[in-house]
Amino acid sequence: MIIDTHTHLYLEEFNTDRSEMIQRARDKSVIKVLLPNIDSSSIDSLLQMSMDYPEFAYPMMGLHPCSVKENYKAELNKIEKMLNENKCFGVGEIGLDMYWDKESIEIQKDAFITQLQWSKSAKLPVSIHSRECTNMAIDIVEQMQDGAITGVFHCFGGSLEEGLRIKSLGMYLGIGGVLTYKNSNLKNILLELGYENLVLETDAPYLSPVPMRGKRNEPSYLDYILESLSQIFSKDKQEMEEILYLNSTRVFPDLV
């Protein structure tokens, strides 16, 4: 049993074959997926998909750091309303991004802190995006961590030191396609970190694993990540799958 803990299957990239794509996922043991939101424009399609595929697609609610612009307070108000009015399974995706936009980092931090507060009051796990500023995101979580923050640093591609800090905060690392890329040192880092805090994710339609790199990503491809993790930790695939499933249910207990 596999849970894809971060996947944008509600995007239009999947409009022509969504049901077939989900069937392919189910054929590869993917039983549930978590849908992270982007901003107010993606809410309708995200909630619609979770209604169309109940017991399979579960909504999260949040404002993505790349959508934090001058109007972010109004965006946050809309998203908080949606979070309160709908059964959500996480606050995401939230965080910081220094790759696409360094200028807005101060308002990104403000939006991130606000949404971490929501996760605490709603007792929901977070899905954190931290491109090119993982240490900064960890600093913020560390300052706010009183035992009430749980969740995943999604698409982890950081250093061993960052991984250790995340682990000591009681948080998890989302592992996906990056693991299979030749120029990535992630395999060695994970070997040092261990598998206790790892969960699977695609971030589909982005970040397809080798040998699908460059194509649209989808949850059935998690099989490649599972294969790679079982080689790294010298476990058989079945055992690795069970470990990762249990890890995911510890972070997202409302899924079971």
In the complex, the smallest distance separating the C-beta of residue 154 from Zn ion, rounded to whole angstroms, is 6
In the complex, the smallest distance separating the C-beta of residue 191 from Zn ion, rounded to whole angstroms, is 25
Which residue's CB is nearer to Zn ion, number 203 or number 223?
203
Instruction: Provide the mask over 79-118, with x wherever binding to Zn ion is found by CB under 5 A and - wherever it is not.
Output: ----------------------------------------
Which residue's CB is nearer to Zn ion, number 217 or number 247?
217
- Interface with Zn ion (CB under 5 A), residue total 1
Q: Which of residues 144-203 bind Zn ion (CB under 5 A)?
A: 203
Q: Distance between terminal CA atoms of the chain?
A: 12
Which residue's CB is nearer to Zn ion, number 116 or number 240?
116
Instruction: Provide the mask over 198-217, with x wherever binding to Zn ion is found by CB under 5 A and - wherever it is not.
Output: -----x--------------
Which residue's CB is nearer to Zn ion, number 18 or number 129?
129
In the complex, the smallest distance separating the C-beta of residue 207 from Zn ion, rounded to whole angstroms, is 9
Which residue's CB is nearer to Zn ion, number 203 or number 218?
203
In the complex, the smallest distance separating the C-beta of residue 10 from Zn ion, rounded to whole angstroms, is 12
Cis peptide before 142 (omega within 30 of 0): no
In the complex, the smallest distance separating the C-beta of residue 46 from Zn ion, rounded to whole angstroms, is 12
The encoded tokens of residue 116 equal 């971490």
Which residue number has the CB closest to Zn ion?
203
| Residues binding Zn ion (CB under 5 A) | 203
